[in-house]
Amino acid sequence: MTAGRRWLSVAVGVLLLIALPFVVRARPVPDQRISAAALLAHIRTSRDLSYSGLSESAGTVALPANDALSGLTDLLSGTNRVRVWWRDPGLWRTATLRPTGETDLVHGQGQTVRWVYESKQVTVVPDVPVRLPNTADLLPPELARRVLSGARTSELHRIPAQRVAGHVALGLRLVPADRQAAIGRVDVYADQRSGVPLRVELFAGHSTTPVVASHFVDFRPDPPDPSALRFRIPPDADVRYDDIVDLAAAADRFASRIPPGSLAGLAARGPQRGSVGVYGRGPTVLLAIPLGSRTADRVRQELDGRPGVRPLDQGLLVSAAPLQLLLGQPERNGTSWLLAGAVTRRALTDAADQLQARHPRLRLP
């Protein structure tokens, strides 16, 4: 072979390597004739299936810096790479991978162990009825389960399939009908065989760019190795037991308030056993969190004057589409309601007016 032909062969090989991903992407994705309602049922029956893989989530929800909500800010305004081993809803493990190190969540026996590798810190927290989201909640199957809960057939229709992590994923679109909804649509792509959601995208209003997106980069629909689910506390670890999971869980347990049965026209999302009210369905969710005077004052000081924070008659409003937060004016006993959710501003102010007018009563000890 002459030198010219050798160089030609090399050039052709390089072009093929460059073109291969585009060829794969352009290859038609086989779809399946299945109704939106049937696909929803297929997704719901996949809840107990085992899997493992690598998930990526990205959010553009620009919440202001705040100590009480720092975990939520990190979760919804950045990119997270999460390795997951999922046997069932009761036993799973995630590892959030960052340039600075790794943070694991190991769930089993009604509690979650949080392991921070760099600081060798272990925190054990119990399962609680209400808490703020964590990285496991943004895994595509868990995010899909929440946003599709309570979905009506009239709100659903099929969209073309995609190939996600090498698997054919059937498309399902949810367009919420609630007038309080701040989410315009949700696109879910579920593995054709197992029904496990592989990609979820949430869009605010009429936007064409998702505000939150989560998808698998690698996905294996098989039970994980049992050794991956085991965690042994290192002998040099700093171990803490904490029953105050976050601001919402603490208020739900200690605030001693009875939230109303409905708020801003949204029905309670299941039985209200604690002091935090959870309202709405699917992606239209509203939380009403009663904060004690000291906590409310601290949050108010951190929010006051921040970019994107607007004072209203009802309190301090934070708009970070599609999320809205409102820290209400203090009541006579110092309690302030923190309202938060993927709802419209009107829904949030209506909720604040309702709470101010009716003053939910105290829960007896």
* Chain mean pLDDT for the chain: 89
44/170 Cα distance (integer angstroms): 14
pLDDT tens per residue, range 205-223: 889 999 999 999 999 999 9
Which residue did the predictor score with more confidence, 134 or 26? 134
The least confident of 94-103, 177-186, 346-355 is 94-103
8 A C-beta contact, residue 220 and residue 51: yes
Q: Which domains does the chain have, with CATH numbers?
A: 36-231 (2.50.20.10), 247-358 (3.40.1000)
According to the model, what pLDDT value does residue 2 have?
59
Q: Evaluate if residue 199 carries a pLDDT over 60.
A: yes
Place of tokens 């009663």: 290
Residues in the chain: 365
156/185 Cα distance (integer angstroms): 10
Helix (H) or strand (E) holding 54: strand 51-59
8 A C-beta contact, residue 76 and residue 212: yes
pLDDT tier for residue 20 given thresholds of 50, 70 and 90:
very low
pLDDT tens per residue, range 248-299: 999 998 888 889 999 999 999 988 889 999 999 999 999 999 999 999 999 9
pLDDT tens per residue, range 113-128: 999 998 999 999 999 9
Q: Evaluate if residue 363 carries a pLDDT over 80.
A: no
Which residue did the predictor score with more confidence, 68 or 364? 68
DSSP-based three-state secondary structure for 365: coil
8 A C-beta contact, residue 92 and residue 135: no
pLDDT tier for residue 357 given thresholds of 50, 70 and 90:
confident
According to the model, what pLDDT value does residue 209 have?
94
pLDDT tier for residue 334 given thresholds of 50, 70 and 90:
confident
What are the angstrom distances between the C-alpha of 171 and each of 36, 60, 155, 167, 327? 9, 23, 14, 12, 38
Query: What backbone torsions phi and psi does residue 268 show, to the nearest 5 degrees?
Result: -60, 140
